[in-house]
Amino acid sequence: MQHINNIDTGSNLRLIRNDLLFSVYYKFRNSITCIRLLDDRHTINFNSQQINILNSLTQFKKLTKLELHNKNDINLTPFYILENCPNLEHLVFFSYHDSICESAMQHILDNDRRINLSFISSLAHLDLYLPYLSATYTRCLIDYFPNQLTNLNITISIQNIFGWIDIVGMELALRLMEKVGSIDKTYIGFVRRDENFIQVHNGNNMTKYFKLLNSFRGARQTHCTAHFKDTGGKMRYLGNSFRYNSLGGLFVTYALYRSDFHGSIIADISVPDKAISIIGLEIFDVLEFNLSSLYDDDVYRVLNYSLSNCPRLLSLNVMWDLLGGLHSSLSFGHKDGQIYFDQANHDINFLQMDHIRPTKNIFDFVTTHLRNIEIVSLKAKDWSWVYNKHVIDLTGFKKLKSFIYISTHIRFTKEDKFVLIKYTNGTEERRILEYGKTRGMGGLSFTVLCDTSVSLDIREEEIEN
């Protein structure tokens, strides 16, 4: 019992009395290596003595990981903790204060405590969770990051990224992004939309974002995945983030505001001014969109935007909301679901469309720009009323090997339909769509035009209402 080094506190520290937990930690301070603590008080009573929690951390000689949720001390900074725990290898620091006392951060800058902090050579992993990031805090992070960090996570929970730029200035913001981006495994994210943020309707938000991305990316020539999210939707997770690790490359998220669209058409998205941002969408290999709404006829606009601005694009996924809790989506990539970053655009051979009408303009665009599609997959919720006498012409896909059509229907709604298949050699075939037991030929759902060499998989799926 005298050599306990870790205590399992479960997933919710709020369910544990902090004074009792720290009393146990303190009892085994000579052997404890990991502490998780909700700091909601300054002192505890231990053997009839008042113990200052933060000051007592210097007595934990073998402590290598500390997770501290700071709800009590507005002046507490991670730099103070590092000075008191010089053997830490991993620090997780949560601050729940709407504002960090500027005097505490300014004191660090004014007194140049670099000499003290330079002895912290063991820290390799730092996680910071802050509601806001002031100019003073930003300067401290730039000047006093331990140089040996290999893993860094900075999450700003309330402040909008553009509000942060306005406060600290672009020059200071770029310096922090460069510093954060230099770490082997790194992340910085402004994860919530600030409702008080006033949008500037001149399209320069994206330019600012890509200017930061250029600084974060540095000289790395690595593959990049981007996720664009429409802030007008119902998604709870909104914001802008930058992530890098050597295995996954760059992964970035960008929150689309109304100022990023041309007029009222949600599919017409602006692009950054590369005279200022230096880089643009051409660095993206994988692109994902979450849009609040989109008309089928506008899908080709997003396709055009993506393929025109991302010449090295290997995978695209566009998703938007429908009524009834459904989502529409269009995606293309490689048929085995993998992304091969060392292969060129011609290896895109799979197209999937869920709950989208396969209009002629979409198919014409895809067959013109993606000439090696081998598999086309369509999925729809009972489209007989839409597709009656509609023709799906697959003859433009010159390398097509397989066509998959899945017609979904709500449970207990039974209506037999059939699909008419017309082959290029002049023959025809009917494929019955069955909701259980077939009662007859039913009504025409749609017609498919294709070559006889194309494998056809046409079937029904039942879904909950």
- Residue 287 and residue 306 in contact, taking contact as beta carbons nearer than 8 Å: yes
- Residue 447 and residue 420 in contact, taking contact as beta carbons nearer than 8 Å: yes
pLDDT the model gives residue 51: 78
As a whole number of Å, the CA-based R_g of the chain is 28
Q: Is 163 buried (19+), middle (13-18) or exposed (0-12) by CB count in 10 A?
A: middle
Query: Is the C-alpha dihedral spanning 52, 58, 61, 62 positive or negative?
Result: positive
- Residue 399 and residue 371 in contact, taking contact as beta carbons nearer than 8 Å: yes
Give Cβ neighbours of residue 426 (< 8 Å, ≥ 6 apart): none
pLDDT the model gives residue 232: 63
Cα separations in angstroms, 20 against 10, 29, 68: 15, 14, 16
- Residue 417 and residue 408 in contact, taking contact as beta carbons nearer than 8 Å: no
Beta bridge partners of 353: 330, 378
Question: Three-state DSSP class for 67?
Answer: strand
CA 164 – CA 389 distance, rounded (Å): 55
pLDDT the model gives residue 79: 84
pTM of the model: 0.88
Q: Give the torsion through C-alpha atoms of 337, 339, 343, 347, to 10 deg.
A: 30
Q: DSSP letters of 76-99?
A: --HHHHHHH-TT-SEEEEEE--SS
Place of tokens 């601005």: 309
pLDDT the model gives residue 120: 60
Q: What is the DSSP letter of 312?
A: T
Per-residue tokens: 187: 């992340």
Residue 60: name the closest of 27, 30, 22, 95 by CA: 30
- List the Cα angle 30/33/38 in 5-degree steps: 105
pLDDT the model gives residue 325: 58
- Residue 440 and residue 446 in contact, taking contact as beta carbons nearer than 8 Å: no
Q: Is 309 buried (19+), middle (13-18) or exposed (0-12) by CB count in 10 A?
A: middle
Q: What is the DSSP letter of 199?
A: P
Q: Which helix (H) or strand (E) element contains residue 460? A: strand 455-463
Question: Three-state DSSP class for 431?
Answer: strand
For the chain (465 residues), the mean pLDDT of every run of 10, in chain order, is: 54 55 83 82 72 85 90 83 88 82 70 53 91 90 85 93 94 97 96 56 81 95 92 62 92 89 72 95 94 77 92 91 71 78 68 86 90 91 56 92 83 66 90 57 74 90 65
pLDDT the model gives residue 195: 46
| Euclidean distance between the first and the last CA atom of the chain, given in angstroms as a whole number | 57
Q: What are the sequence ranges of the domains in the chain?
A: 1-149, 378-465
Residue 210: name the closest of 168, 244, 161, 248 by CA: 161
pLDDT the model gives residue 345: 47
CA 390 – CA 82 distance, rounded (Å): 68
